[in-house]
């Protein structure tokens, strides 16, 4: 199921607002879409691009499936959020991924 355009815009806005407030170490976020997936990357201060996570759309703009980017695999793996759930808000997913990849 492809992600509807209004949901794409809303997701990008939510993630960007959350990043600016909670992860200012990143210059910005890049969100790209493919089918039912949204890929979230962080632009680092040195200009590098750090893949962070992948979100899977299941029909709800509120709750998304979560996969963490694993540098060791150079790919994504379905993951559990700190809450113990396999799906959650985009903000929870961003916090989980940034907690691993972004210097505090």
Any idea how long the chain is? 104
Please give the distance of CA 81 from its chain centroid, rounded to a whole number.
Answer: 12
Positions in the chain short of pLDDT 70: 104
Number of alpha carbons in the 13 Å side-chain half-sphere of residue 91: 10
| The predicted structure's pLDDT at residue 103 | 79
The runs of H, that is alpha helices, within 1-104 are: 5-22, 90-101
Task: Give pLDDT tens digits for 11-27.
Answer: 999 999 999 999 999 99
| The predicted structure's pLDDT at residue 33 | 98
Q: How far is CA 76 from CA 9, 20, 27, 69, 97, in A?
A: 23, 24, 23, 4, 11
């Amino acid at each position: 199921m492809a992600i509807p355009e209004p949901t794409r815009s809303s997701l990008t806005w939510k993630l960007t607002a959350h990043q600016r407030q909670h992860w200012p170490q990143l210059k910005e976020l890049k969100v790209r879409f493919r089918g039912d997936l949204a890929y979230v990357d962080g632009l680092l201060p040195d200009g590098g691009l750090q893949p962070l996570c992948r979100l899977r759309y299941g029909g709800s703009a509120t709750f998304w499936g979560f996969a963490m980017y694993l540098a060791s695999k150079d790919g994504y793996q379905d993951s559990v959020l700190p809450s113990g759930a396999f799906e959650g808000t985009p903000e929870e997913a961003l916090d989980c991924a940034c907690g691993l990849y972004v210097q505090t």
